[in-house]
């Protein structure tokens, strides 16, 4: 650690407990860390480990029933735990700001975006009126929202999930904080905007000497942004160290498992390494090591005596009995190693056919609300997906990916085109006929909190579809199926009696996946299904999806911004930009030899675990054109370094690439 930098935040033995229905939950248990001015401390760990609760405890924003029971939190020597609420309100949003994990629940649905950013500007910087509005628009532009001044008058429901997250980042930066707590700040963002946001945060950090507590499950983001790394498990910090030392040699068995669970192209056709079981309940008293039940190195002492901290020559510190000077080193058992899987049978039958799909939304203005324009969210999209195959749909937020998924399932009105599932034209079906097809097609939505009924228990949510669609008529069998599904997605069967608000963001996403799988569909449209999951649970979900696909012949339309997951899971890739498919083909062709300049930009923006960036990587700049007024000719030409006069005037037609896919680019005519 560079001791020449002043300490900005000091957390000493912080403990925060929450009153739960089954006892006191020790969400944060004796956590200590320091953040230096201008430095980033990254906090890693599975959902439910206490990362977000640590951040909320520092901000004094614990949920009802939560309280700090021990420890100190100091910002530049000022003790926060003893401040009054009025003093904390002056601190929050100004010197101390936070980007929350779920923007859909953090943004006020009845206030415009401009009003919400303006509140922070007015309170902490005294800026109002046109001056405040101009600066608010500048903040939105800085985080990659197109047509920023117009967007100031939008409400949160009018924005995509990624755009909501960008608004949250703009709000947090409005007060020019000294310490920024970023809880999964780029989870909902595509790779190009993620790259821009991370560069923005890094630049602001350099300019202002801002400290940052970064909570993320993306090891690539940690490698790029962090100076110090802390690994958290079951309310405890179990490993700390510099970024360089941590990525060179993670020490704790749990840390090693996180790296082993990362998907990659090299592991295609193999099961990913996973961590058996789940994070233990935090309402129990622990006798020994909290990771003991999931650790392949554990011995008797691990069950009876909690490990102390051990400092290593590299500067890393680890809480594990393996690092006692006299400890006997044990080899990891081979029971959980990835195994090769047989190659899937060749696809023989097209399950889903989408031809010239259009979804246009009218723009109404004036007293009479006349239609003055059309937002062409989906403009002539054609796709084919065979049973047992995975088609990945990638592209930036706002390009129409989610709209394609909802239109296929007939959840929104289609302006034109045809959608066929198993030979049935879905647009031609009656309401009753469409209802009878629902068990064949399901969707995992991007925002699990918004898609789960808060008044229903988890078991009822998963069971509801089976009962409604007649998949399983026996209540006892349905209950057994619910328990099996919860275990499959990495939860405990006993959690069926809880409500959605009792789970972390990643755990709610697992519940949403279990609900979709419950009715045994033929087609699952997965809208960012792993974006809220840490790498260990992501590995479980990807293994599960692959296993179910092989056993049941499921087809997946996989909407995602995670190119690494695409490389591991998908068979084919379609790249979407402003409502249109610009490149389509086998995953090996698209990701190894991308043809369209936009695809090249996407791949160049993917964060690498080694933290390195390509100096010559193509960049698309910071501004995504508005879908309300797309550029003439090729929509990508304002951001393309290869654009010619023809690109500015003529939209390119499809060019077939010798059986290896299709591209829409004048470079290949």
Low-confidence residues of the chain: pLDDT under 70: 1-4, 161, 188, 326-348, 505, 532, 610-624, 659
Tokens, residue 75: 């910002």
pLDDT of residue 611: 57
Q: What pTM value is reported for the model? A: 0.78
Q: Report the alpha-carbon angle 259-264-266, nearest 5.
A: 115
The residue written with tokens 């062709």 in the block is 589
Q: Report the alpha-carbon angle 462-470-552, nearest 5.
A: 70
Question: Which one-letter DSSP state was computed for residue 99?
Answer: E
pLDDT of residue 610: 67
pLDDT of residue 525: 95
Contacts of 41 (CB under 8 A, 6+ apart): 33, 34, 35, 211, 212, 213, 214, 226, 227, 228, 229, 230
Q: Collapsing DSSP states into helix, strand and coil, what is residue 346?
A: coil
pLDDT of residue 615: 37
The residue written with tokens 């469409």 in the block is 434
Q: Indicate the domain borders of the chain.
A: 7-226, 350-668
pLDDT of residue 328: 47
Q: Identical fold at 7-226 and 350-668? A: yes
Tokens, residue 377: 């969210």
- Please name the CATH architecture into which domain 7-226 falls: 3-Layer(aba) Sandwich (3.40)
Alpha-carbon distance of 450 to 104, in angstroms, equals 8
Contacts of 184 (CB under 8 A, 6+ apart): 101, 215, 216, 217, 505, 532
Do 76 and 5 meet the contact criterion of CB atoms below 8 Å apart?
Answer: no
pLDDT of residue 335: 39
pLDDT of residue 336: 45
Alpha-carbon distance of 513 to 566, in angstroms, equals 18
Tokens, residue 341: 């899987």
The residue written with tokens 């309170």 in the block is 123
Question: How many Cα atoms sit within 13 Å of 408 on the Cβ side?
Answer: 32
Query: Can you state the angle between helices 113-125 and 129-142, rounded to 10 degrees?
Result: 110
Query: For every residue of 612-652, which 3-state class applies, written as one string?
Result: CCCCCCCCCCCCCCCCCCCCCCCCCHHHCCCCCHHHHHCCC
Alpha-carbon distance of 560 to 256, in angstroms, equals 26
350-668: which CATH number, 1.10.10.10, 3.40.50.300, 1.20.120.550, 1.20.1440.230?
3.40.50.300
Alpha-carbon distance of 502 to 484, in angstroms, equals 20
Question: How many Cα atoms sit within 13 Å of 328 on the Cβ side?
Answer: 6
Which backbone phi and psi does 588 adopt, to 5 degrees?
-65, -40
Number of neighbours of residue 60 by Cβ within 10 angstroms: 18
pLDDT, tens digit, 9 for 90 and up, residues 370-386: 888 888 999 999 999 99
Query: For every residue of 276-335, which 3-state class applies, written as one string?
Result: CCCCCCCCCCCCCCCCHHHCCCCCHHHHHCCCCEEECCCCCEEECHHHCCCCCCCCCCCC
């Amino acid at each position: 650690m560079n001791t020449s930098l002043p300490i900005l935040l000091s957390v000493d033995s912080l403990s925060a407990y929450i009153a739960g229905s089954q006892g006191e939950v020790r969400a944060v248990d004796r956590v200590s860390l320091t953040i230096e001015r201008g430095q980033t401390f990254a906090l890693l760990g599975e959902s439910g480990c206490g990362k977000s609760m640590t951040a909320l405890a520092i901000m004094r924003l614990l949920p009802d029933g939560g309280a700090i029971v021990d420890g100190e939190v100091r910002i530049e020597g000022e003790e926060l735990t003893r401040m009054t609420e009025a003093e904390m309100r002056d601190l929050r949003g100004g010197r101390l700001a936070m980007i929350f994990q779920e923007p859909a629940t953090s943004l006020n649905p009845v206030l415009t975006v401009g009003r919400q950013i303006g509140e922070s500007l007015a309170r902490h910087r005294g800026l109002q009126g046109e001056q405040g509005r101009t600066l608010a628009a500048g903040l939105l532009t800085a985080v990659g929202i197109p047509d920023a001044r117009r967007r100031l008058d939008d409400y949160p429901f009018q924005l995509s999930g990624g755009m909501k997250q960008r608004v949250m980042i703009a709000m947090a930066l409005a007060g020019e904080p000294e310490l920024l707590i970023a809880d999964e700040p780029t989870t909902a963002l595509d790779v190009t905007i993620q790259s821009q946001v991370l560069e923005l945060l890094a630049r602001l950090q350099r300019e202002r000497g801002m400290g940052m507590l970064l909570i993320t499950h993306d090891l690539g983001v940690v490698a790029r942004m962090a100076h110090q790394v802390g690994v958290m498990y079951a309310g405890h910090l179990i490993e700390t160290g510099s970024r360089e030392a941590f990525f060179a040699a993670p020490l704790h068995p749990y840390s090693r498992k996180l790296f082993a669970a990362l998907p990659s192209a090299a592991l295609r056709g193999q099961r990913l390494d996973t961590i058996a079981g789940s994070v233990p309940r935090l309402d129990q008293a622990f006798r020994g090591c909290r990771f003991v039940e999931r650790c392949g190195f554990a011995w008797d002492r691990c069950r009876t005596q909690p490990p102390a901290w051990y400092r290593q020559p590299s500067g890393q510190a680890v809480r594990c009995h393996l690092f006692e000077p006299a400890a006997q080193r044990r080899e990891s058992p081979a029971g959980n190693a990835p195994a090769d899987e047989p190659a899937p049978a060749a696809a023989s039958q097209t399950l889903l056919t989408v031809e010239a799909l259009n979804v246009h939304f009218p723009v109404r203005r004036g007293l009479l609300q006349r239609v003055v324009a059309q937002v062409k969210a989906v403009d002539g999209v054609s796709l084919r997906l065979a049973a047992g195959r995975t088609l990945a749909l990638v592209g930036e937020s706002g390009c129409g990916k989610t709209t394609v998924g909802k239109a296929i399932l007939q959840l929104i009105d289609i302006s034109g085109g045809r959608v066929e599932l198993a030979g049935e034209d879905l647009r031609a079906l009656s309401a009753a006929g469409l209802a009878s097809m629902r068990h064949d097609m399901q969707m995992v939505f991007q925002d699990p909190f918004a898609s789960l009924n808060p008044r229903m228990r988890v078991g009822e949510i998963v069971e509801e579809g089976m009962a409604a669609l007649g998949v399983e008529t026996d209540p006892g069998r349905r209950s057994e199926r619910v328990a099996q599904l919860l275990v499959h997605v990495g939860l405990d069967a006993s959690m069926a009696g809880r409500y959605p608000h009792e789970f972390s963001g990643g755990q709610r996403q697992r519940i949403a996946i279990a609900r979709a799988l419950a009715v045994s569909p033929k087609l699952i449209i997965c809208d960012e299904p792993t974006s809220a999951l840490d790498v260990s649970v992501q590995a479980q979900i990807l293994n599960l999806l692959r296993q179910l696909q092989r056993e049941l012949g499921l087809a997946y339309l996989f909407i995602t911004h995670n190119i690494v997951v695409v490389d591991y899971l998908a068979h084919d890739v379609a790249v979407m930009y402003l409502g249109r498919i610009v490149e389509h083909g086998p995953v090996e062709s698209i990701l190894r030899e991308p043809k369209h300049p936009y695809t090249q930009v996407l791949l160049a923006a993917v964060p690498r675990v080694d933290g390195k960036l390509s100096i010559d990587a193509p960049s698309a700049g910071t501004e995504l054109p508005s879908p309300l007024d797309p550029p003439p000719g090729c929509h990508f030409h304002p951001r393309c370094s290869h654009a010619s006069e023809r690109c500015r005037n003529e939209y390119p037609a499809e060019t077939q690439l010798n059986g290896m896919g299709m591209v829409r680019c004048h470079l290949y005519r």
